[in-house]
Amino acid sequence: MVDGERLLIIIPAFNEAASIGDVVGEIRGELPAADVLVVDDGSTDHTAAVAITAGARVARLPYNLGVGGAMRLGYRYAHDHDYDAAVQVDADGQHDPRYVPKLVDLLGDHDLVIGARFAGEGEYTVRGPRRWAMAVLSLVLSGLAGTTLTDTTSGFRAANRRMIEMFAHWYPVEYLGDTVETLVHAARRGYRIQQVPVAMRRRMAGTPSHSPTRAMIYLGRALAVLTLALIRR
Amino acid sequence: MKLTLVTGLTGLLLLATIVELLRRRQLREKYGMLWLGLLFVVIPLSLFPRLLDGVADLLGVASGVSLVLFLGIVFLLLVCIHLSWEVSALEEETRTLAEEFALLRAEVEAERTERAEWTRRLDRTEVVSRDG
């Protein structure tokens, strides 16, 4: 990281009181120079209070908007407060903040840097329809972006000023819009995208779903989102 | 004759409903005008169902009543699509408002904490100067 650059860590959180304190604490320990903004997406638990106690700034949405709404708010905050870079991190603790400098370092030559699983580092495997969906997504998006993207649905991303400006004004609110559609949109408009291999950790709270029906539904929705994103202006 | 009475009365009842809603300002004018315009077509038709037979013949539809049914369904579908579109636009507006509101609240809270910090510091210096 270049000294003197202002960095904002954006954490969208919906009912994450169990893990948000540790996540914020760890980030502040690893990255003392960065500001942490927790976007409380209409939580009904103590997410906001826990985050404030842990030393984060908190923006509280009056009701649940979904990840897309929370993220646009985060980027608007970054835009309004003139940050040089913004990194979005999940509230469940699966993203290791020690990778943040690695992501931010690449922001000079790239507008959007994605922390990606399956790119050599760490162990993370998926099977069945979920895997097919990810394969199709990464194939199409890699082609669009002109670079290899193995983990298109990763919520671990760093954005520079140009990207923040775009996300502050345009950020889709629909399912997978925050990951797939933003990538299509950015790649088409000539923003430079790059991925960095990262190891994901186990979530501190909550469990990922493994039901085959859910995986099929995921495949269908992912393909629908991708098709729509491709035919949209 | 009975049928004409039923359809005619239904049409008039709908007309009264729309006018009343408009009178109480519970319906936006654009929708009120839309439904009123429709009723001015539907009421004459309910009284004289044969009116459209000529047009139906021209389009190859067996009877004017079938044509009315077809046009009615198309019209209702268009209205539904329009309403979905309006709801999407409204959702986008409320979303923007919610974000704006959250930003302002964060701003206000940050300022309040800062001011509280300042007041505390001022109080302390006052105490110190009084002691000294």
pLDDT value for A123: 54
Closest CA to A208 of A157, A158, A155: A155
In a domain, B40, yes or no: yes
- Contact between chains at B95 and A59 (C-beta distance less than 8 A): no
| Residue A54 burial (CB count, 10 A) | 19
In a domain, B14, yes or no: yes
What residue type is B115 in one-letter code?
A: R
pLDDT value for B44: 85
**Tokens matching residue A170:** 């345009």
What chain A residue is nearest to B94 in terms of C-alpha separation? A65
Least confident of A149-153, A174-178, B22-26, B85-89: A174-178
pLDDT value for B91: 92
Query: pTM for the whole thing?
Result: 0.82
**Tokens matching residue A153:** 């649905």
- Contact between chains at A59 and B105 (C-beta distance less than 8 A): yes
Cβ proximity of A45 and A130 under 8 Å: no
What chain A residue is nearest to B108 in terms of C-alpha separation? A59
pLDDT value for A60: 94
Average pLDDT, chain A: 87
From A148's Cα to the closest Cα of chain B, the distance in A is 33
Least confident of A174-178, B82-86, B116-120: A174-178
- Contact between chains at A69 and B105 (C-beta distance less than 8 A): no
pLDDT value for A210: 65
Residue B89 is given by DSSP the state H
pLDDT value for A122: 54
**For range B20-38, the mean pLDDT:** 86
Average pLDDT, chain B: 86
In a domain, B119, yes or no: no
pLDDT value for B25: 86
In a domain, B75, yes or no: yes
- By DSSP bridging, strand A157-160 and strand A112-116 are antiparallel
**How many cross-chain Cβ pairs, A to B, lie less than 8 Å apart?**
36
Q: Quote the CA–CA distance of A107 and B108 in Å, as a whole number.
A: 32
Which residues in chain A are closer than 8 Å to B106, comparing Cβ atoms? 57-60, 77
What chain B residue is nearest to A79 in terms of C-alpha separation? B103
Class of domain A7-231: alpha beta
pLDDT value for A3: 60
**B88 pLDDT higher than 90:** yes
Q: Is A2 helix (H, G, I), strand (E, B) or coil?
A: coil
List CB contacts of B61: < 8 A, sequence separation 6 or more.
Answer: B67, B70
Q: How many domains does chain B contain in total?
A: 1
Domain of B94 in residue numbering reads as 2-103
Q: Quote the CA–CA distance of B94 and B96 in Å, as a whole number.
A: 5
In a domain, B129, yes or no: no
Dmax (CA) for chain B in angstroms is 105
Q: Quote the CA–CA distance of A50 and A40 in Å, as a whole number.
A: 11
In the block, residue with structure tokens 């729509």: A228
In a domain, B121, yes or no: no
From A126's Cα to the closest Cα of chain B, the distance in A is 34
In a domain, B81, yes or no: yes
Ranges of each domain in chain A: 7-231
pLDDT lower than 70: segments of chain A: 1-3, 118-127, 203-210, 233
Q: Which chain A residues in 39-58 lie under 8 Å from chain B, judged by CB atoms?
A: 39, 57-58
Q: Quote the CA–CA distance of A179 and B114 in Å, as a whole number.
A: 36
Cα→Cα distances A1→A8, A32, A85, A102, B5, Å: 13, 13, 10, 8, 82
- By DSSP bridging, strand A157-160 and strand A85-88 are antiparallel
**For range B102-107, the mean pLDDT:** 93
- Contact between chains at A60 and B102 (C-beta distance less than 8 A): yes
Query: For chain B, first and last CA: distance in Å?
Result: 104
> How high is the ipTM of this complex?
0.80
In a domain, B124, yes or no: no
